[in-house]
C-alpha cells in the first residue's frame, strides 16, 4: 500500500469537495463570486493531487488500489463537472423586447394557486416583476 | 427585502417556466410570500424576449436509483434569463436589469437603489 498516494488522492478529493461546498453555500445568500478564483484554484490543486496520486502509485510498480482510484476519480469527475457548468454561465442577452420608459407588455399567466392572472391587475400599482429560472 | 419594498409600495411578482404545480411546490417548500406566476409554455418569457434556449437545468426527483430519487438531474431546457423590471403605477418600466451570467442576479442593494431613485 502506498500510503502517500492514498493521502494525496483523499486530500485532492477533499479539496474539490470543499470548493464545491463553499461555492454552493454562497448561492442562497446571493454571494456567488463573479470570478470564483478560490473555487477554481482549489479544484485545480485537487485534480493535481489526484493525478499525482495515481502516477505515484504506478511508480511503485503495482496498480493503484481502490483507495487511490476512487477518491482520485471522484476528484477529477467533480472538478470537470464544475468547469463544465462554469463554461455554460453566459446567457444570450440582447433579445429583450422592452426598454426603460416603455409600457409593460400586456400578458396573462397562471398563479401558483391556479388562478388566472392578467397584467391589467397591476394598474395603479408599483411592481417589481422578476423573470427567474424556476424552482429546483 | 420585502419590508423595504413595502415601504415604497412595491409588490413583487416572479414568473418562471414552472407549471402551476411546480410553482406551488416551490412556494410551499421555500415558504415564499411572493406571487409566483407559471408560464410553462414560455409565452410571456418569449413575449419579453428573455428566453434562454438550451439552458442546463436541474430537476429534483425525475430519476430514481434503487428507489431513491436522485436530487439533481441535469437536462437542457428553455427557461427565462434572470431579469428584473421595475414598473411604476402607470405601467411604465422605470428600471431594467438583466444578467449575462445566470449565476449572478440583481443584488438586493442594486434593486433597492433602483426603487429609491425611481420613487423618491
Task: Give rounded-to-5 percent helix, strand, coil for chain A.
Answer: 55, 10, 35
pLDDT at residue A42, rounded to an integer: 95
A112 to chain B, any CB pair closer than 8 A? The answer is yes
Q: What percent of chain B has pLDDT over 90?
A: 2
Whose grid coordinates read 502517500?
A4
Question: B66 pLDDT band (50/70/90 cuts)?
Answer: low
- Over residues B14-42, the pLDDT tens digits come to 998 888 888 888 888 888 778 889 988 88
> Which SS3 state, helix, strand or coil, does residue A106 take?
coil
Nearest chain B Cα distance for residue A14, angstroms = 21
Binary contact (A131, B48; C-beta < 8 A): yes
Structural domain contains residue A48: yes
Per-residue confidence at A87, pLDDT binned at 50, 70, 90? confident
B17 contact residues in A (CB cutoff 8 A):
133-134
A29 inside 8 A of chain B by CB:
no
ipTM of the complex, rounded to two decimals: 0.82
Question: Looking at residue B29, what is its pLDDT?
Answer: 81
| Cα–Cα distances in angstroms (integers) from residue A104 to residues A110, A131, B114, in the given order | 18, 14, 17
CA distance B74 to B56: 6
| B58-67 mean pLDDT | 60
- In chain A, residues with a C-beta closer than 8 Å to the C-beta of B56 are 85, 88
pTM of structure: 0.77
Q: Return the higher-pLDDT residue of B86 and A135.
A: B86
- Domain extent at residue A64: 3-87
Which one is predicted more confidently, B36 or B103?
B36
User: How close is the nearest chain B Cα to the Cα of A59, in Å?
Assistant: 37
Q: Which of B1, B4, B19, B36 should we substitute to test contact with A (largest number of A Cβ atoms within 10 Å)?
A: B36
Range in A5-9, B30-34, B57-61 with the lowest mean pLDDT: B57-61
- Nearest-CA neighbor of A131 among B45, B54, B95, B41? B45
Name which of A95, A99, A123 is nearest B96 (Cβ-Cβ).
A99
Residue contact A133–B10, C-beta within 8 A: no
Task: Give the per-residue pLDDT at B64.
Answer: 62
Torsion of CA B41, B62, B105, B79, to 10 degrees: -20
Would residue A104 count as lying in a domain? no
Q: Is residue A107 part of a domain?
A: no
Q: Checking DSSP bridges between strand B93-98 and strand B10-16, what pairing results, if any?
A: unpaired
Comparing C-alpha atoms, which of B97, B101, B102 is closest to residue B83?
B97
Specify if A13 maps to a domain.
yes
| Overall number of domains in chain A | 1
Mean pLDDT of chain A: 87
Most A CBs within 10 A among B6, B38, B107, hence the mutation to make, goes to B38
For B63, other C-beta atoms within 10 Å of its C-beta total 13
Q: What is the pLDDT of residues A33-78, one digit of tens each?
A: 888 889 999 999 999 999 999 998 888 777 778 889 999 999 999 9
**Residue spans per domain, chain B:** 1-40, 51-81, 82-120
Q: With cut-offs at 50, 70 and 90, classify the pLDDT of residue B68.
A: low
Contact B13, A127 (CB under 8 A): yes
Residue A78 Cα, gap to closest chain B Cα (Å): 14
A121 within domain boundaries? no
Amino acid at each position: 500500500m502506498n500510503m502517500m498516494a492514498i493521502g494525496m488522492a483523499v486530500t485532492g478529493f477533499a479539496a474539490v469537495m470543499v470548493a464545491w461546498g463553499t461555492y454552493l453555500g454562497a448561492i442562497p445568500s446571493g454571494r456567488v463570486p463573479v470570478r470564483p478564483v478560490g473555487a477554481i484554484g482549489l479544484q485545480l490543486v485537487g485534480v493535481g493531487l489526484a493525478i499525482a496520486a495515481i502516477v505515484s502509485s504506478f511508480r511503485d510498480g503495482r496498480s493503484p488500489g481502490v483507495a487511490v482510484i476512487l477518491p482520485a476519480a471522484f476528484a477529477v469527475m467533480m472538478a470537470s463537472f464544475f468547469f463544465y457548468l462554469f463554461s455554460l454561465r453566459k446567457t444570450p442577452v440582447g433579445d429583450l423586447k422592452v426598454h426603460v420608459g416603455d409600457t409593460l407588455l400586456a400578458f396573462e399567466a397562471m398563479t401558483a394557486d391556479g388562478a388566472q392572472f392578467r397584467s391589467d391587475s397591476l394598474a395603479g400599482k408599483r411592481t417589481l416583476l422578476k423573470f427567474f429560472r424556476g424552482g429546483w | 427585502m420585502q419590508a423595504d419594498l413595502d415601504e415604497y409600495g412595491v409588490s413583487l411578482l416572479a414568473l418562471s417556466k414552472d407549471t402551476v404545480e411546480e410553482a406551488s411546490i416551490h412556494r410551499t417548500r421555500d415558504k415564499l410570500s411572493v406571487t409566483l406566476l407559471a408560464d410553462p409554455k414560455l409565452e410571456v418569457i418569449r413575449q419579453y424576449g428573455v428566453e434562454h434556449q438550451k439552458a442546463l437545468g436541474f430537476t429534483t426527483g425525475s430519476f430514481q436509483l434503487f428507489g431513491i430519487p436522485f436530487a439533481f438531474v441535469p437536462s437542457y431546457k428553455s427557461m427565462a434569463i434572470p431579469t428584473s423590471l421595475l414598473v411604476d403605477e402607470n405601467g411604465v418600466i422605470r428600471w431594467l436589469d438583466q444578467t449575462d451570467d445566470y449565476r449572478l442576479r440583481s443584488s438586493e442593494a442594486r434593486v433597492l437603489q433602483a426603487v429609491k431613485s425611481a420613487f423618491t
